[in-house]
Amino acid sequence: MLQQQIVKRSTTTNGILLFSFLFISCMDLCAQQDAQFTQYMYNTVAINPAYAGSRGMLSVFGIHRAQWIGLEGAPTTTGASFHTPINDSRIGLGFSLLQDAIGPSDKQLFSADFSYTISTSENYKLSFGLKGTASLFSIDYTKLNRYDTNDPRFQNNISNQFSPNIGAGIYLHSKKLYAGISVPFMLQSTEFDDINSQVTNEALHYFFMGGYVFDVSDSTKFKPAFLVKAVEGAPLQVDLTANFMLYDKFVLGGAWRWDAALSGLAGFQVNDNWFIGYTYDADSTKLANYNSGSHELFLRYEFIGKKEQVVSPRFF
């Protein structure tokens, strides 16, 4: 995604001018292009295919993130996914949709996930995953404030340019711990316009994650967690979160994105099936002068069969 470039170049309150400058001055972009979510731990299948089926039931998830509210053309991301184990086998399957829009550009991703799980001990399982993705990339240059309307680079819009990709991941988990390594998009793809000018260059994203659930008391659980994203040509991104679950119903916590944002997290387990969550991110960079923060809302529904299939705690 192009957010890191935007952060570096946000010297004006006019979002359209900012995006115009991006496209005019840097046609070979290399940044953190994958959509980011603060509450990634509830939709881990988006970044690690080995997570598919790990919850032991059919899990359906939807999320919407509106980033940098007040900044014109700021990123908005909407996603939906489901994943499930296949009967009593070691196989898990998943499918997800994602739409990521920023300024004049729009990308739609359609992904299918496959996982295979083995037991490494009485308490731990190790899953291996593969992801296949088809993406459609579009740019509408008419949304830009073009200083030179005759510039040939901005005469031809890009409409649903197709590119395939593959990914892989490993996920170790128990009832209390999880850790994973993944590369959801292993092929470096490049988007071109109709006159064969390079528009974006998508780099590899490496994800490292982990978390542990502590039983503080009979009614309180505490889960610290981390996510590290490494991308060639962009600063290392580190997310640290700390959540408390109270009475197996209420989740409250906070997060810190290194040199980027501070966040407040909340969740509510409505019943055995429904879980809803909300996040507010406040920028800790100079970009905070030009926006009023970011909002993230998600909803999860799980089809629970036999009661003994529910793994506790379901904190990730």
pLDDT (0 to 100) of residue 184 = 94
pLDDT in tens, 99-144: 999 988 999 999 999 999 999 999 999 999 999 999 999 988 877 7
- pLDDT in the model for residue 194: 54
In a domain, 84, yes or no: yes
* pLDDT value of residue 33: 55
Residue 224's DSSP bridge partners are 242
Look at residue 156 in the predicted model and tell me its pLDDT. 77
Indicate whether 97 belongs to any domain.
yes
Considering only CA atoms, which of 30, 8, 6, 31 is closest in space to residue 19?
6
If you search the block for the tokens 């501070």, which residue do you land on? 262
Owning domain of residue 206? 3-227
313 lies in some domain: no
- Any domain includes 196: yes
pLDDT tens, N- to C-terminus, the chain (316 residues): 434 333 333 333 344 444 443 443 333 333 445 778 999 989 899 999 999 999 999 999 999 999 999 998 899 999 999 999 998 899 999 999 999 999 889 999 999 999 999 999 999 999 999 999 999 999 888 777 766 666 766 667 888 899 999 999 999 999 999 999 999 999 876 655 555 555 556 678 899 999 999 999 999 999 999 999 998 778 889 999 999 999 999 999 999 999 899 999 999 999 989 999 999 999 999 889 999 999 999 999 999 876 545 545 468 8
> For residue 305, is it within any domain?
no
Give the pLDDT of residue 308. Answer: 43
pTM above 0.85, yes or no: no
Q: Does residue 265 form part of some domain?
A: no
Q: How many domains does the chain have?
A: 1
In a domain, 57, yes or no: yes
Residue 270: inside a domain, yes or no? no
